Structure 1
Amino acid sequence: MENKIAVYRREQFNAAHRLNNPEWSEEENQRIFGKCNNPNYHGHNYILELKVVGFPDAKTGYVVDMKILSDIIHKEVIKKFDHRNLNLDTEEFKTLNPTAENIAIVIWNLIRPHISSDLDLYVRLYETERNFVEYPTV
Structure 2
Amino acid sequence: MSRTVILTRREVFSSSHRLYSDKLSLEENKKIYGKCINSHGHNYVLEVSIKGAVKEDIGMFMNITELKEILKEKVMDKLDHKNLENDVPELKGIVTTTENLSIFIWDQLFPSLKDFLYEVKILETENNFVVYRGE
TM-score using structure 2 length: 0.94
- Aligned partners of 1:112, 1:3: CA distance in 2, in Å? 23
- Aligned partners of 2:66, 2:117: CA distance in 1, in Å? 16
Residue ranges of structure 1 left out of the alignment (5+ in a row): none
1:123 aligns with 2:120: yes
Query: What percentage of residue pairs aligned between the two structures are identical?
Result: 39
- SS where residue 75 of structure 1 aligns? helix
- Aligned partners of 1:31, 1:121: CA distance in 2, in Å? 35
Residue number in structure 2 paired with 1:135: 132
- SS where residue 92 of structure 1 aligns? helix
**Match for 1:135: what amino acid?**
Y
**Match for 1:128: what amino acid?**
T
**Once the 2 structures are TM-superposed, how far is the Cα of residue 59 of structure 1 from its aligned partner?**
2.1
**Once the 2 structures are TM-superposed, how far is the Cα of residue 92 of structure 1 from its aligned partner?**
1.8
**Once the 2 structures are TM-superposed, how far is the Cα of residue 31 of structure 1 from its aligned partner?**
0.8
- Aligned partners of 1:116, 1:57: CA distance in 2, in Å? 18
Q: Is the 8 A contact 1:104 1:125 kept in 2?
A: yes
- Aligned partners of 2:89, 2:60: CA distance in 1, in Å? 34
Residue number in structure 2 paired with 1:76: 74
Q: Is the 8 A contact 1:52 1:63 kept in 2?
A: no
**Match for 2:60: what amino acid?**
Y
Change (3 A) 1:52 1:25: same
Residue number in structure 1 paired with 2:41: 43
**Match for 1:111: what amino acid?**
L
**Once the 2 structures are TM-superposed, how far is the Cα of residue 32 of structure 1 from its aligned partner?**
0.4
Deviation by residue 1:76-109 (Cα, 9 ceiling, x = unmatched) = 1110010110011111210111100000011011
